[in-house]
Each structure stands twice: as structure tokens, then as C-alpha cells.
Structure 1
Amino acid sequence: MSKDLTVIAKRYASALYEVVGQENLEQSEAELRVVKDVMESNRDIQKLLNHPKISVEQKKQIVKESLGTDISKPVLNTILLLIDRSRENIIAEMAGQFIELANESRGIAEATVYSVRLLSQDERTRLEETFAKRVGKQHLRIENIIDQSLVGGMRIRIGNRIFDGSIRGKLERIERQLATTQG
């Protein structure tokens, strides 16, 4: 997504964040996670919302029927406003920006942990305690992804930072080190 569209999405997310306030933040964040997931994973709804021959009113009706009563008024109204202003293409980005604002206000960071097996709750807790401090946050929201190519250990991505403690990563570092000392 272009930088301009990201800036625009952030403006809408900030406005929604102000409207929602702290008391409804968790609910709105959960709703927007669903919206983001649907928009990113469902190509059909993207095609419908971006199709030039479908009227704005039809697009709004599709969204209302899809989300219906499962979504709060401020979130629904923001999505409908984006449709009114022909900004359907930034709905997922706006949702992502809102989630970032919500996380920032609560001291939470999103973390993706790649490991060769599913982590236990105890391992997740220890990772959260260790890495939350490293990135200056109070908590981590951990998503665990199984990646057999790591051989062992794990790789952790928090924002744009990567902590690689995998065996594959260590082997690659040794390989680079050997290549530079022999060259």
C-alpha cells in the first residue's frame, strides 16, 4: 500500500479511536480484527467493494448485511464513511492502524513466534516476560506459527525487529562468518 494511503488510513483510524474512547476500545479492536481478517482473506468481498459498476448504496448494503448486528455503530459508520468517500481499498489498512493505536495505548506489541512445534502456555508466558521488556512494552500478543524449516529453536518478530534463535539462523550466521574469513 502506498505511503499516502497508509497516512489516510491512519487518519480514519485515529478519528475512530477518539470516538470509541478507552471504555469501548477492546470491543472495537476485536471487531476490527474480524473486519481486517475478512478484507484480507476474502477476495470476493474485495472485488465487490472495488467494482465500479456496484453503487455506493449497494456496497453499503453488502457491508451492513455482512457485519450486521455483530458490529458497533462507530465501527460500522467508519466503514460506511470509507465507502461513501470511495476509500474501500483502505478498510483493512484502517483496521490495522486502529489495532496499532489500541495496542500502543495499552503497552501491547504484536509478536509472531516461529517455532518447530506449538509453544506451551508456560513458554509463551516466559517469552512475553522476556521480550516485552526488550521492546519497551508491558505485554505481547503472541501468534505462534509452526515452521519446520527452523530445525530447532525459534524466531520472533515484533514490529520490524527480528530475534533469531533458530538453529537454521545460527547455521546461516556461521556460514556467513566463514565466508568472510576465508574471502
Structure 2
Amino acid sequence: MSQSIIAHRYADALFQLGQERSKLEKFETELQTLKEVFRSSEEIISFLKHPRFSIDQKKTMIAESFQSFSEEIVNLLKLLVERHREDIILDMIQDYIRMMNDAKGIADADVYSVRQLSEAEKQRISESFAPKVGKQSLNLTNIVDPSIIGGIRLRVGNRIFDGSVSGKLRRIERKLLSTNNR
């Protein structure tokens, strides 16, 4: 079974547990913090994967390091270590966050522009395009790409909205080439 399927199952179980105990938001906040900790500190992952340390030592480290976290999150981390699933922790966190965003009606999107967009511009883009993809808002990541010449290109999942100058030029070129071939 692939790592992503396993990560999704753990995230789904945690999401259901959060719903039952009304802790969805708390879990999300803790998982965001956990994601930053695991991304910024390679030592934690290498410690958890290292065969020289016993599972009990790893569980003790988790309990001590994350004592301010909810019991459910700490127990999940201990379970993942016990089952030698340290590799899926970040994927599991991403899946949980994706589930939370779906529940809130939020989608992640990349917006390509010639320059860095202001928060007001991002907000207007989110308000304009969220209804087109059936969401309430978009969580935008701005990617500066001078090759688009002007305008914006927005990618939400597998949908692309291309209002860039380079995109319009490509469409004109295709149209001209197709009329020349007739």
C-alpha cells in the first residue's frame, strides 16, 4: 500500500476523532505547528527513524517534546513511531489540513503574476474565482513569473484560469495557425 494512502487513512481517522470530540480546529492548529517543527528540524525525523534508539525512547521524546499538545495528537505520533510510519507524518498533516479546508470551503491555489501581489489584490482574486470553483474562498500562493508578461494565471487543483498576456498571445497564435492551414 502506498505511503500516501496510509497517510490519508490516518488523517481521516484523526479528522473523524476531531469531529466526535469537537476538536477539529485545535488539531489543525497543533498540526500546523507540528508541520513547522518537522520541516525546520531534520534532527527530529532522523531521531525517530534511527534504529539505535528504542521505540520507548522515541515515545518518551515525543511525550516530553510535545507535552503542550493534545493527548490525541501525542498518541497519534506515538502510534506512528510504534508502527514505523515516521515517513508519513508530514503527508498525514497535509491531508488533514486539506480535509479541514474542504470542510471550510477553502481551496489552495497558485496565482502567477509578474510582480508580488498585495493582500488586497489577493483578496479580490479569491473573491472573484472562489465561486467559479465552488468554494467560499481561496488560499492563494503568489508565484512571481515574469514570463507571463502581464495579467495573471490562476491554478486551482487541475483547473487553470489563464488571463496572462503570454496566454492570450499563444491563443492568438494558435488561431492564426489554424486559419492558415485551411
TM-score bin (small chain)? 0.7 to 0.9
Q: In the comparison of the two structures, how many residue pairs are matched?
A: 180
2:136 maps to what in 1?
Answer: 138
Q: Does the C-alpha gap of structure 1 residues 180 and 10 become closer, same or farther in structure 2, counting only changes over 3 Å?
A: same
Of residues 159-168 and 134-143 in structure 1, the stretch that sits farther from structure 2 once superposed is: 159-168
Structure 2: 5+ residue stretches without partners = none
1:32 maps to what in 2?
Answer: 31
Cα distance in 1 between the residues matched to 2:104 and 2:44: 32
1:107-122 → structure 2 map (5 Å cutoff):
107-122=105-120
- TM-score when normalising by structure 2: 0.80
Q: Does the C-alpha gap of structure 1 residues 42 and 110 become closer, same or farther in structure 2, counting only changes over 3 Å?
A: same
Deviation at 1:120?
2.4
Deviation at 1:87?
0.7
The answer on whether the counterparts of 1:116 and 1:149 sit within 8 Å (CA) in structure 2 is yes
2:153 maps to what in 1?
Answer: 155
Structure 1: 5+ residue stretches without partners = none
Deviation at 1:110?
1.3
- TM-score when normalising by structure 1: 0.80
1:159-178 → structure 2 map (5 Å cutoff):
159-174=157-172
Deviation at 1:34?
3.0
Deviation at 1:9?
1.1
Cα distance in 2 between the residues matched to 1:91 and 1:171: 44
Q: Does the C-alpha gap of structure 1 residues 182 and 27 become closer, same or farther in structure 2, counting only changes over 3 Å?
A: farther
The answer on whether the counterparts of 1:36 and 1:93 sit within 8 Å (CA) in structure 2 is no
* Secondary structure at the counterpart of residue 99 of structure 1: helix
Cα distance in 1 between the residues matched to 2:52 and 2:179: 62
Cα distance in 2 between the residues matched to 1:173 and 1:41: 43
Cα distance in 1 between the residues matched to 2:151 and 2:164: 4
1:95 aligns with 2:68: no
Deviation at 1:162?
2.5
Deviation at 1:29?
1.4
Please provide the CA RMSD for this pair.
2.7
The answer on whether the counterparts of 1:152 and 1:167 sit within 8 Å (CA) in structure 2 is yes
Q: Does the C-alpha gap of structure 1 residues 129 and 86 become closer, same or farther in structure 2, counting only changes over 3 Å?
A: same
Of residues 48-57 and 164-173 in structure 1, the stretch that sits farther from structure 2 once superposed is: 164-173
Cα distance in 2 between the residues matched to 1:66 and 1:172: 54
